[in-house]
Structure 1
């Protein structure tokens, strides 16, 4: 009797497990059908939220999505079902791998939509299409970036931080406008810009500093609804801790170069990147680096005539060495024409306290003492602008002379 009871319990547990497995399979199967239709034709358009336009990013790449020129990765279907970050992968018809990004969490979109009508002083039951009839959009853009700079006290701030004066935003967004002011589609463009500035400015930034002009950002494919298409640019730096030392130094040099480019390269603006996480810096097979998350960026208009509220504008702002690594002053960066923020961030990524990229050091690398000194000066010294140039030159010299070829074992 006791044996029979045990057998019944075991069979009962087995049946429950079988039922659970069947339910999981059915959920997976129908989930796949939901996103891929007949399992052959992808339905990436479901991700776009086109019904929310013009409160969206634009429609520049919609024809390619409609005609299946961009195909989600079928091996990524579980990610399509369970994806808190709203980041997906796919391919073009030419077999180039791409990333499809919604640029916000679902709850952030919901919060944005709930405030949409009130933000434009429309009826509480308004529809996004009603935004095509609103007035004063240009002024609204200035008010938005001014608010992002001056009002919020809790980090991270949402939307673009543009400083020191908001009126320069119109020159900044020009590369992202598809239609001239006289065009009937200009209003839609401006609402798209306002939406991106409110949710995530990355599509705008990628057009202001495009990869085609040598910037260390993803190649921009376009937008459709609330979906951005960019090129897949490689593996995160965070998973490359055990690569050959020679490659590490190449990447280190390019990180320093990127810090200088974002600070100096553009004729009009400086770009201070707030998130230097090694998950957001990727590396391709040529050891070229790309910053793949450009949501948290301070854009500084360096060609302004300072007013009395900027008495220290022509002075350089040096980050306080006593501040924790992830602490920075937006206010101070925006009150000076030049900050060493990017330089410090690059050096901290390479040699800071939290899992530095240039550690561990190979046992047979004979030049670590000098390199370590330069990194320490970059983190703790009095003039990072000077130190970073010396650091760039020293790493370049090591690579040119072949001083690190064959070095591989670590301490």
Structure 2
């Protein structure tokens, strides 16, 4: 009789007992190990230079990133961690299906083999066709779809490859592995390539790149998302906008390069603990080699490439890759800032001036910011956007200096 009662009790409350067993499992802490980094896919992975701190326990998951059940819903594959005293972000650089497609398509995309291949041997064969010269081999790798390689530049290709191989000709086995890491990154997400080419240590407003382990890329945690600041006092927001305009200026022309952000959304910017604005998602950036352009001198290359305002119901940012690649100067980054951050397209519920909403009357009376914001978005005259950005920078600098 007692056994039957116990049986009936469990039967009636079986859902409760299932939850009792299942829920604690959801909150188990995930461990950083070879499986988490998916090292089994190497050499079709991002590299192994950051594996020691990940595998020896120096890097520890924090916040919700360490909970098993959170990872079921973490479609962006972004995890927060600590590395000693540093806060870091671990990225798989894409959705699971994007990474899987890159692995599955590497033989057809790069080595033109339909039914799979030995990637290491296939790369050696391809290199031999070009006498072991990595730079000469590059055009045959099928990697031109990445934004970073849209504009021709042998100087850029050589500089990036040097981060992955010990030598550019007659590659040893270690460099063959590095070359396969480079191919894997190029097929999934160009961000590590850009972070190494344009490092934070040289003043670029990007996260610091620590390295990669398997299918994990490690970068510095650059603080709080910009979206969290949209309701801060106006003068505080104005200082952030001034930084963003300077950021756009630097990216447009520094050290012989122009970097054009084709996805300048509020989600791709953050504010670090020192109040500095950083661009944290570099997947969609077109790189122009200004020296290469000076040598090639395509038709009308000295004319300013002016972005055309496009009216739409969402944050659509129109651009011409051909124009950006063939002109020494372009106003694209300022168009991106003014349209995507300083207009009603900035974020859900944004007002006409986005991050600069609520301009004080005395500020507007003196500086006419609303006029220059409109001109920056949709210029009424030739080169009007450059004039508008200069006026905005001048005004915001004066406002920032004012007591």
Q: TM-score range by the shorter chain?
A: 0.7 to 0.9
Residues 174 and 358 from structure 1, CA distance in 2 versus in 1: closer, same or farther, beyond 3 angstroms? same
Equivalent residue, structure 1, for 2:287: 299
CA separation in 2, counterparts of 1:216 and 1:388? 19
Match of 1:347 in 2: 338
What's 2:364 paired with? 368
Q: What residue is the counterpart of 2:13 in the other structure?
A: 15
Residue 268 of structure 1 corresponds to which residue in structure 2?
256
TM superposition shift of 1:123: 8.0
Residue deviations 1:168-212 (CA, integer Å, cap 9, x gap): 442341562352336622222222222222211111100111111
1:255 and 1:305 map into 2 onto residues whose CA distance is: 26
The 8 Å contact of residues 206 and 218 in structure 1, kept in 2 or not, is answered as yes
Please tell me whether residue 82 in structure 1 is matched to residue 70 in structure 2: no
The 5-angstrom pairing of residues 138-217 of structure 1 reads 138-144=135-141, 147-148=144-145, 159-165=146-152, 167-174=154-161, 176-177=163-164, 179-181=166-168, 184=172, 185-217=174-206
Q: 2 CA distance for matches of 1:13 and 1:282? A: 52
- Indicate if the aligned counterparts of 1:145 and 1:162 stay in contact, CA closer than 8 A: no
SS of alignment partner, residue 223 of structure 1:
strand
Distance in 2 between residues matched to 1:64 and 1:358, nearest whole Å: 39
Q: Is the 8 A contact 1:72 1:91 kept in 2?
A: yes
The residue aligned with 1:393 is: 394
| Structure 1 equivalent of residue 91 of structure 2 | 101
1:378 paired residue number: 376
Matched, 1:61 2:50: yes
- 1:218-266: per-residue Cα shift (whole Å, max 9, x none)? 111111122110111111112221112221011000000000011011x
- C-alpha separation in 2, matches of 1:375 and 1:333: 23
Matches of residues 225-244 of structure 1 in structure 2 within 5 Å?
225-244=214-233
Distance in 2 of aligned mates of 1:146 and 1:218: 24
Q: Normalising by structure 1, what TM-score?
A: 0.81
Task: Decide whether aligned partners of structure 1 residues 57 and 290 sit closer, same or farther in structure 2, where only a CA change above 3 A counts.
Answer: same
CA contact (8 A) 1:343 1:388 kept: yes
State yes or no: 1:315 paired with 2:303: yes
Shift of 1:17: 4.7
Distance of 1:275 and 1:246 partners within structure 2? 26
TM-superposed CA distance for 1:26, in Å, is 4.6
Contact 2:120/2:176, CA 8 A, preserved across alignment: no
State the shift of 1:106 in Å. 0.8
Cα deviation for residue 12 of structure 1 reads 10
How far 1:22 moved relative to its partner? 2.2
> Which consecutive unaligned segments of at least 5 residues does structure 1 have?
1-10, 37-42, 149-158, 403-411
Which sits farther off after the overlay, 368-377 or 210-219?
368-377
Is the CA contact (8 Å cut-off) linking 2:342 and 2:373 kept in structure 1? yes
Residue 152 of structure 1 corresponds to none
Distance in 1, Cα, partners of 2:334 & 2:372: 13
Task: Check the 8 A contact 2:148/2:287 in 1, yes or no.
Answer: yes
The two structures, once aligned, show a CA RMSD in angstroms of 2.8
Q: Which segment is superposed worse, 193-202 or 393-402?
A: 193-202
Classify 1:13/1:253 alpha carbon distance in 2 versus 1 (closer, same or farther; 3 Å).
Answer: farther
Question: What corresponds to 2:4 in structure 1?
Answer: none
Q: Is the 8 A contact 1:269 1:301 kept in 2?
A: yes
Structure 1 residues 128 and 304: CA distance shift in structure 2, 3 A: closer
TM-score (structure 2 length as normaliser): 0.83
> 1:51 aligned to 2:51?
no
Contact 1:233/1:282 (CA < 8 Å) preserved in 2?
Answer: yes
8 Å Cα contact 1:220/1:230 also seen in 2: yes
Question: Is the deviation greater in 164-173 or in 287-296?
Answer: 164-173
How many angstroms does 1:335 deviate by? 2.3
The aligned counterpart of 1:8 is none
- What does the per-residue CA deviation read over 1:349-400, in whole Å, with 9 as the maximum and x for residues that have no partner? 44223225334305x5411241212212211223222221221111010010
Distance across 2 between alignment mates of 1:202 and 1:60: 16
Cα distance in 1, alignment partners of residues 151 and 219 from structure 2: 30
